[in-house]
Amino acid sequence: MPTIRRVAKGSGKLAALCLPLFHATPALAAQSAAIVWGPCDAQLVGDIPAHLTTRLECGTFRAPLDHIQPDGRSIDVGVVRARAMRPDLREGAIFVNVGGPGSNPARLVRSIAATWSREDPFDADTADKVRLAERFDLVAVIPRGLEGGHVYRCLTGLPPRFAFLPSHLDDANWNLVLDEATAQARTCAAPPEARYINTEQHVHDMDAVRRSLGDDKLHLYGISYGGRVGAWYAATYPTHVGRMLLDSSMRFTQGFLEAGELMRAALRKDFQRVLAPIVADPTRYGLPADSAAIATSLQDLPGRAREAWHPYLDTPPRVAAALWLADWMRASDPGSRTQLEGRIRRQVFSSDPSLNGAIRWAALQLADRYFAPVRTGPEFGAGQDGDSVRRAVGCNDDAWSANDVAIREHAVRNAARDLHSDGEEILEELVCARWPHPRARVPNLDTVGDAPRFLLLQAEHDLVTPIEGARALLARYANATLLVARRSAVHGLFNFTTSSCIERTASRYLLDGTLPDSPSGELHCGGATESPVSALPHTTTTTTPTTPAAAPHDEI
Q: Is residue 427 domain-resident?
A: no
224 and 342 share one domain: no
The CA radius of gyration of the chain, in Å to the nearest whole number, is 25
Strand ranges in 84-188 using DSSP code E only, listed in sequence order: 92-97, 136-141
pLDDT at 393: 98
Percent of all residues in the chain with a pLDDT value above 70, rounded to a whole number: 89
278 and 215 share one domain: no
CA 303/CA 164 separation, integer angstroms? 8
313 and 453 share one domain: no
14 and 42 share one domain: yes
pLDDT confidence tier of residue 527, bands split at 50, 70 and 90: low
Domain with 312 in it: 271-332+337-370
420, pLDDT greater than 50: yes
pLDDT at 32: 81
pLDDT at 142: 98
Q: Is residue 470 domain-resident?
A: yes
Cα angle: 416, vertex 418, 419; to 5 degrees = 95
355 and 449 share one domain: no
Q: Is residue 417 domain-resident?
A: no
Q: Is residue 181 domain-resident?
A: no
462 and 549 share one domain: yes
206 and 287 share one domain: no
Report, as an integer, the average pLDDT of 56-67. 97
Greater model confidence, 469 or 15:
469
3-class secondary-structure state, position 499:
coil
The type of residue at 455 is: L
The string of pLDDT tens digits covering residues 7-24 is 333 333 223 333 333 333
pLDDT confidence tier of residue 402, bands split at 50, 70 and 90: confident
3-class secondary-structure state, position 114:
helix
Q: Is residue 158 domain-resident?
A: no
Task: Decide if 139 contacts 131 (C-beta within 8 A).
Answer: no
263, pLDDT greater than 70: yes
Pairing of strands 241-247, 218-223: parallel
Q: Is residue 472 domain-resident?
A: yes
Q: Is residue 147 domain-resident?
A: yes
312, pLDDT greater than 80: yes
531, pLDDT greater than 70: no
352 and 454 share one domain: no
CA 472/CA 521 separation, integer angstroms? 12
Q: What is the mean pLDDT of the chain?
A: 90
247 and 351 share one domain: no
pLDDT at 403: 92
Indicate the number of domains in the chain: 2
CA 226/CA 219 separation, integer angstroms? 13
The string of pLDDT tens digits covering residues 155-191 is 999 999 999 999 999 999 999 999 999 999 999 999 9
Please enumerate in sequence order all residues whose Cβ is within 8 A of that of 376, keeping only pairs 6 or more positions apart, or say none: 159
98, pLDDT greater than 80: yes
220 and 361 share one domain: no
pLDDT at 538: 44
pLDDT at 24: 33
pLDDT confidence tier of residue 532, bands split at 50, 70 and 90: low
Q: For residue 542, what is the domain's CATH number?
A: 3.40.50.1820
Instruction: Please report how many Cα atoms fall inside a 13 Å half-sphere around the Cα of residue 224, on the Cβ side.
Output: 23
Among the listed residues 540, 441, 554, the one whose alpha carbon sits nearest the alpha carbon of residue 101: 554
Task: Determine whether 540 is exposed, middle or buried from the number of CB atoms within 10 Å of its CB (0-12, 13-18, 19+).
Answer: exposed
The string of pLDDT tens digits covering residues 124-149 is 999 999 999 999 999 999 999 999 99
Cα angle: 66, vertex 70, 72; to 5 degrees = 115
545, pLDDT greater than 60: no
136 and 32 share one domain: yes
pLDDT confidence tier of residue 83, bands split at 50, 70 and 90: very high
Task: Decide if 188 contacts 194 (C-beta within 8 A).
Answer: yes
74 and 101 share one domain: yes
The string of pLDDT tens digits covering residues 291-302 is 889 999 999 999
Q: List residues bridging with 454 in a β-sheet.
A: 480
Q: Is residue 185 domain-resident?
A: no
Report, as an integer, the average pLDDT of 492-511. 95
CA 91/CA 135 separation, integer angstroms? 5
